């Protein structure tokens, strides 16, 4: 089933592009797309053009970037740790971001301007990674790093539980819980511009990591003899993941399973090479999040369905299916 | 004279086009239904049709609803959008960004705040006088309450899982006005907290006031009153049931609840 890298990426890009167009054209009420496009291109501020450019476009763009981040970072973490169970949340940045975002919702949601929420999330992601660094030390082994990540995750989760526990009213509890579920509804272009630079820095740091991850599959010693500095590589991936995932979580909340499932799904098509998996997973992640975000708009529920809930609901059984299938293959 | 005044007021209203209103919050829905004219209401929240939470659910059913998404609201082009204190932050920010006028209805924590909310919504929908007149009537109803201090029995709000309301909440103030002492305040709860079984046994309330959101299912307060520990302590609190649509939000019906609880208190005293 192996495809050439160019072919695979082209197919995934085409799917992502199609889903992006569908995402922009779908809403609760149908939008006369042609009129909306005409108004937008003519520069007139009609209701349609505002809906298209200020409500639907940022939503699709954020789904694209956040999905790509989750897929890419999942693949990078699985390659680095040589463990198919690794997910981008392992370094603590996701829960760090979520904790700080919830902190802002709890204390200052009506006082601070809206851009403080994603900024606080990104700060939380960086702080969590810094704490992992401080806990594990510069020359830490993979196991120490994971343990430090788990500890920071636990601390951030405990912090969130504490805030929920102390919330002043049932309404506040609901708001905090719903935020953590992961959702892309009604984000604005300013949210997109806030998340983009940090996401791009994270992605850029992962450029060129692919070959090193390939060498790492031969074992750390062999990789070292091939000129790979494992400690250097580890921190490079960790900081990249922390930046990109932090930006994604700060903007859309916790969206599970994309980082875990997408690399699994695509691994057979890239001959199980972690280096080739990176770009493919980024595109695949974007496709999955765009599709899930279209799904939540199409599935009619009484309370609006959150996209993080949908990805987990679909992702978990699918993951089980993958495990069963791979067990059959190994036997 | 008064007829003339009404006529001239009508003329003024005819000259300026009515303010188009949309609401994405259940409590704002109620006050909009109360204070705005039918033609003004563009959209209410989905919950406004819900029997359990919406006091004017029947009236609300003749209006279209929204799920609180920016897109739906924007297509309606309302002059004012009323949002709640805990409405989705992103939606609120986005609606502001695309240039709509937003008003935030805070959660009322006292009877005064309920009256303030009525006045504010009346102003936002362009019927300030209507709001002021209503508030005057409601204040008179408070003054007319029987205020003898002889019997002030003890009660507690008892919501599922033991949640209760203290003095700094509408439900706590309702009890105060109706002449009950609040067991939650004695247990040190100011606004909202948990009333433990131990506290109930220690304080021995005469009544538990419940307002379950899903009526017809089993009553937590009833179950609590049957708790072996309570029976053993010889407690048999009266259960007062108030429909949840009268306690979820604050409005004129809040004053109905006060009168209802006062009647319950007088009934208890005469027993």
Q: What confidence tens digit (pLDDT) does each residue in A199-256 have?
A: 999 999 999 999 999 998 888 888 888 888 888 898 899 899 999 999 999 999 989 8
Helix axes A57-81, A142-166, angle to 10 degrees: 140
Angle, in degrees to the nearest 10, between helices A189-206 and A230-252: 170
CB-closest option in B77, B91, B104 to A186: B91
Instruction: Give the C-alpha distances (Å, rounded to integers) separating A280 from A210, A211, A314.
Output: 12, 15, 20
Asked if residues B202 and B184 have their Cβ atoms less than 8 Å apart, the reply is: no
For B10-29, what is the mean pLDDT?
A: 79
- B71–A110: do the CB atoms touch at under 8 Å? no
Q: What are the CA-CA distances from residue B41 to residues A267, B12, B29, B129 (Å)? A: 54, 20, 9, 18
Beta-sheet strand order (sheet of B65-66): B65-66, B41-45, B21-23, B80-84, B102-105
Query: Are A185 and B104 a contacting pair at CB < 8 A?
Result: no
Q: pLDDT band at residue A329, thresholds of 50, 70 and 90?
A: low
Q: Do B77 and A169 touch (CB under 8 A)?
A: no
Which candidate, A205, A216, A211, A319, places its Cα nearest to that of A259? A319
Smallest Cβ–Cβ distance between B107 and the set A47, A109, A169 belongs to A169
- 10 Å CB burial of residue A303 (0-12, 13-18, 19+) is exposed
Q: Which residue has the tokens 């039918």?
A: B38
Cβ–Cβ gap B192/A175 under 8 Å: no
Q: What is the mean pLDDT of chain B?
A: 87
Tokens of B182: 């609040």
| A29-44 mean pLDDT | 78
DSSP A52: I
Say if residue A330's pLDDT is above 70. no
Split at pLDDT 50, 70, 90, the class of B7 is very low
Q: Is residue B178 pLDDT above 80, yes or no?
A: yes
Q: Residue B53, SS3?
A: coil
B64 interfaces chain A, CB cutoff of 8 Å: no
From the list B67, B77, B94, which residue is nearest A28 (CB)?
B67
**CA distance, residue A55 to nearest chain B CA (Å):** 7
Read off the pLDDT of residues B141-161 as tens digits, 9 standing for 90 and up: 999 887 666 778 999 998 877
Residues in a beta bridge with B154: B181
User: Under an 8 A CB cutoff, do B69 and A168 touch?
Assistant: no
- Which residues in chain B have their CB less than 8 angstroms from residue A175's CB? 86
- CA–CA distance, B86 with B106 (Å, rounded to integer): 9
Q: Write down all domains in chain B, each with its CATH number in brackets.
A: 2-141 (3.40.50.1980), 154-270 (3.40.50.1980)
Work out the pLDDT band at B20, boundaries 50, 70, 90: very high
- What is residue B74's three-state secondary structure? helix
Cβ–Cβ of B72/A169 closer than 8 Å?
no
Distance from B94 to chain A by nearest Cα, in Å? 6
Q: Is A121 strand, coil or helix?
A: helix
Report CB contact under 8 Å: B97, A190: yes
Closest CA to A1 of A331, A274, A288, A266: A266
Mutate to test the interface with A, among B67, B94, B192 (most CBs of A within 10 A): B94
- Model confidence at A28, pLDDT cuts 50, 70, 90, reads low
Which helix (H) or strand (E) is B82 found in, with range?
Answer: strand B80-84
Locate the chain A residue with the closest alpha carbon to B95: A186
- Beta-bridged to residue B239, according to DSSP, are B208
A175 vs B75, B77, B86: nearest CB: B86
| Token pair recorded at residue B78 | 């309302």
Is B71 an 8 Å CB contact of chain A? yes
B243 membership: H or E segment, kind and range: none
Query: What is the per-residue pLDDT across A58-115, written as a single tens digit (0 to 9) for each?
Result: 999 999 999 999 999 999 999 998 888 888 888 888 999 999 999 988 887 667 787 8
For residue B84, the chain A residues in CB contact (below 8 A) are 171
Tens-place pLDDT, residues B68-90? 899 889 999 999 999 998 888 88
Greater pLDDT, A18 or A134: A18
Give yes or no for B77 touching A (CB within 8 A): yes
Q: Domains in chain A and their CATH numbers?
A: 5-330 (1.10.3470.10)
The torsion angles phi and psi of A319, rounded to 5 degrees, stand at: -65, -40
Banded pLDDT at A152 (limits 50, 70, 90): very high
CB-nearest partner of A55 from B70, B163, B191: B70
Q: Is the pLDDT of residue B225 over 80?
A: no
What is the per-residue pLDDT for A124?
Answer: 93
- Selecting from B46, B72, B97 the residue whose C-beta is nearest the C-beta of A188 gives B97
Q: Chain A within 8 Å of B69 (Cβ-Cβ)?
A: yes
Name every chain A residue with its beta carbon within 8 A of the beta carbon of B93: 114, 188
Interchain proximity A50–B74, CB inside 8 Å: yes
Query: What's the first-to-final CA gap in chain A, in angstroms?
Result: 19
B191-211, pLDDT tens digit by residue? Answer: 888 888 888 888 999 999 988
Contacts of B246 (CB under 8 A, 6+ apart): B55, B211, B253, B254, B256, B257
To the nearest whole Å, the CA of A317 is away from the closest chain B CA by: 29
Secondary element (H or E) of residue A161: helix A142-166
Residue B227, pLDDT score: 79
- B238 and chain A: CB distance < 8 Å anywhere? no
Q: State the DSSP string of B153-195.
A: -EEEE-BGGGEEE-SSSHHHHHHHHTTPEEHHHHTT-SSEEE-
pLDDT recorded at residue B218: 64
By Cβ distance, the residue of A27, A178, A188 closest to B71 is A27
Q: What is the pLDDT of residue A68?
A: 97
């Amino acid at each position: 089933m192996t495809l050439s890298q160019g072919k695979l990426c082209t197919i995934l890009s085409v799917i992502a592009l199609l889903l992006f167009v569908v995402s922009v054209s779908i809403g609760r009420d149908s939008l006369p797309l042609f009129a909306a496009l005409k108004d937008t291109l003519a520069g007139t501020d009609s209701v349609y053009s505002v809906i298209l450019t200020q409500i639907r476009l940022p939503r699709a763009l954020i789904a694209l970037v956040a999905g790509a981040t989750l897929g890419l970072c999942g693949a990078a973490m699985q390659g680095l740790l040589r463990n198919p169970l690794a997910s981008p949340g392992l370094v603590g940045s996701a829960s760090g971001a979520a904790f700080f975002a919830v902190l802002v919702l709890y204390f200052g949601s009506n006082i601070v301007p809206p851009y403080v929420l994603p900024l606080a999330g990104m700060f939380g992601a960086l702080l969590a990674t810094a704490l992992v660094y401080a806990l594990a030390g510069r020359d830490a082994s993979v196991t120490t790093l994971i343990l430090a990540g788990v500890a920071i995750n636990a601390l951030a989760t405990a912090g969130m539980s504490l805030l929920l526990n102390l919330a002043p009213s049932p309404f506040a509890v609901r708001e905090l819980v719903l935020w953590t579920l992961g959702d892309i509804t009604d984000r604005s272009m300013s949210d997109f511009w806030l998340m983009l630079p940090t996401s791009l820095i994270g992605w850029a740091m992962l450029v060129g990591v692919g070959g090193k991850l390939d060498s790492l599959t031969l074992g750390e010693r062999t990789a070292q003899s091939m000129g790979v500095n494992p400690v250097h590589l580890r921190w490079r991936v960790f900081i990249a993941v922390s930046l990109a995932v932090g930006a994604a979580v700060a903007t859309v909340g916790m969206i599970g399973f994309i980082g875990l499932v997408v690399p699994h799904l695509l691994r057979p098509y890239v001959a199980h090479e972690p280096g080739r998996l990176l770009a493919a997973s980024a595109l695949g992640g974007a496709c999955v999040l765009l599709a899930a975000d279209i799904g939540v708009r199409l599935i009619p529920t009484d309370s609006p369905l959150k996209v993080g809930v949908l990805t987990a609901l679909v992702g978990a059984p699918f993951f089980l299916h993958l495990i069963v299938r791979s067990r059959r293959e190994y036997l | 004279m008064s007829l003339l005044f009404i006529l001239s007021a009508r003329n003024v209203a005819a000259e300026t086009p009515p303010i188009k209103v949309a609401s994405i919050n259940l409590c704002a829905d109620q006050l909009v239904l109360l204070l705005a004219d039918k033609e003004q209401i563009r959209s209410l929240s989905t919950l406004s049709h819900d029997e359990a939470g919406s006091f004017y659910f029947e009236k609300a059913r003749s209006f279209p609803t929204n799920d609180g998404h920016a897109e739906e609201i924007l297509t309606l082009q309302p002059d004012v959008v009323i949002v709640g204190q805990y409405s989705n932050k992103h939606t609120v920010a986005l609606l502001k960004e695309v240039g709509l006028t937003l008003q935030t209805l805070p959660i009322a924590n006292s009877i005064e705040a309920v009256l303030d909310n009525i006045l504010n919504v009346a102003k936002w929908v362009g019927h300030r006088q209507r709001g002021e007149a209503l508030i005057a009537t409601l204040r008179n109803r408070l003054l007319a309450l029987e205020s003898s201090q002889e019997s002030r029995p003890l009660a507690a709000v008892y919501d599922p899982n033991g949640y209760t309301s203290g003095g700094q909440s509408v439900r706590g103030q309702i009890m105060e006005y109706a002449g009950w002492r609040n067991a939650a305040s004695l247990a040190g709860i100011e606004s909202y907290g948990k009333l433990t079984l131990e506290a109930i046994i220690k304080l021995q309330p005469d009544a538990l006031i419940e307002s379950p959101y899903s009526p017809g299912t089993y009553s937590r307060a009833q179950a609590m009153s049957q708790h072996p520990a309570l029976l053993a302590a010889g407690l048999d609190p009266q259960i007062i049931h108030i429909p949840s649509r009268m306690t979820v939000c604050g409005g004129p019906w809040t004053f109905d609840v006060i009168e209802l609880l006062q009647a319950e208190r007088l009934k208890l005293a005469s027993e």
